Amino acid sequence: MQKITTPKGETLVILPLDDYERLVDGNDIAGAQRVKSDIAAGRDELVPASIVNRIISGENAVKVWRMHRGLSARDLAAATELSAPYISEIESGKKEGSISAMKKIATALNVDLDDLV
pLDDT tens digits, one per residue of 51-110: 999 999 999 999 999 999 999 999 999 999 999 999 999 999 999 999 999 999 999 999
Q: How far apart are CA 19 and CA 3, in angstroms?
A: 15
Task: Report whether pLDDT(46) > 90.
Answer: no
Q: Point out which residues pair with 11 in neighbouring strands.
A: 5
Q: What is the reported pTM?
A: 0.69
Yes or no: say if 112 and 98 are a contact pair by the CB < 8 Å rule: no
Domain boundaries, the chain: 2-40, 49-116
Q: Does domain 49-116 have CATH number 3.90.730.10?
A: no
46: left (phi over 0), alpha (psi -120 to 50) or beta: beta
How much of the chain, in percent, has pLDDT values that exceed 90? 86
Q: What is d(CA 114, CA 117) in angstroms, rounded to the nearest whole number?
A: 5
